[in-house]
Amino acid sequence: MPLAKASKITLAGMPHQLPTPSPEALKHSAELTGLIRQRISDAGGWIRFGDYMDLALYAPGLGYYSAGSTKFGEGGDFVTAPELSALFSRCIAGQCADVLAQLDSGVILEFGAGTGRMAADILLELEARDELPEQYLILELSADLRARQQQTLEQRAPQLADRVAWQDQLPQQPLPVVVLANEVIDALPVERFSVHDDGLMELGVSCSGSGFAWSPRPAGWDLTSAVDELQALLGQVLPAGLTSEIRLRLPAWITEVCRSVQQGMLLFIDYGLSRREYYAEARSTGTLRCHYQHRAHADPFTWPGLQDITAWVDFSQLADAAERAQLTVSGYTTQAQFLIGAGLDRQLERAADADLSAQVDQAGQARRLGMPGEMGETFKAMALTRGPITLPSGFGGKDLRRVL
């Protein structure tokens, strides 16, 4: 079964258990490895893990999300909800329609649209409802993924392709907008740290042999300040022996995104936890994971550029950053509760006229999207709003903001 990024399925742990890449892929990885090693050398032999993660994922033409390998679906490394089932995107479409109806000439802006499957399915659903937005903007920095998205839209919704525009950067003028970010924040770089009785250590990266290794050093002021603030918010000291991560870049990223929002809603769906759950003693090794050909493991230095590197989202940190950027945290719930409120059952009823095989397939897809052991509880949905916005139905059920 294909691996959803946050599912509990772990098919392999150590690098030698992973399928061996092709010679061409290994050559690609070696080229990126050379670039990262040069950056480490230029920096005096050590870089922060966040800088390593940034290069491994986004180095132009070489990083995992910048190069041309297949990432999504059964032929890639993991499966996201829009790739799993159109049911997910149709539910999202209804939520977009509810908010767009409250805006003056509103648009949809999607971050990192993957294969373009969610964009196509949302537009098709909105077309069927006669509620299309003026424009569907996609912020995509990868030329390869942009080409793939264009191909998907031409194949699945050719009559709507002219409504889609790709962006290299955020809109310069604030817009009435619905922002969609499905599995985006988990790919923002993190800094790694470990707690010791004699102080906080930052886990950076140095060269080792022909590859890389963890390289601890006393944490600098910015990481120390962030962890001090984290402990103050938790009301407790993190235990010695805990190793975890924190997204130092998240507040600035949210602030930048918010400059593009005049009025509307930002919808974030990702696998994650509240602050207290994230840094619980039971999660003493953090949440950093890598995904390669539907195997999950914990070594970010294996074949740079060929595997995804990710960490769970601290939704409490996201909520704090949003409030500082003058957004309102209007909703927070599980993906299961969100999809139920957004009309997943009605979407399934639409399959009643399909043949039995199609009905069974859609029922299975709905289970994977909503069951606790699959994506339903691990993934959370958060709505951030600006201006007078009535939340859509997906946030009308179980409200988890109290745990943030």
Please give the model's pTM, rounded to 2 decimal places. 0.92
pLDDT for 73 beyond 60: no
- Per DSSP, the residues of 21-65 read PPHHHHHHHHHHHHHHHHHHHHTTS-B-HHHHHHHHHHSTTTSTT
pLDDT for 124 beyond 60: yes
Q: Does domain 32-40+60-188+247-288+308-403 have CATH number 1.10.150.120?
A: no
pLDDT for 14 beyond 50: no
Q: Would you place residue 12 in the very low, low, confident or very high pLDDT band (cuts 50, 70, 90)?
A: very low
Q: Would you place residue 70 in the very low, low, confident or very high pLDDT band (cuts 50, 70, 90)?
A: low
CB 347 within 8 A of CB 65: no
pLDDT for 13 beyond 50: no
Q: What is the mean pLDDT of the chain?
A: 90
Given this model, what pLDDT does residue 4 score?
A: 59
**Residue 88's Cα: distance from chain center in Å?**
15
Nearest Cα neighbor of 110 from 93, 98, 130, 125 is: 93
> What single letter denotes the amino acid at residue 257?
V
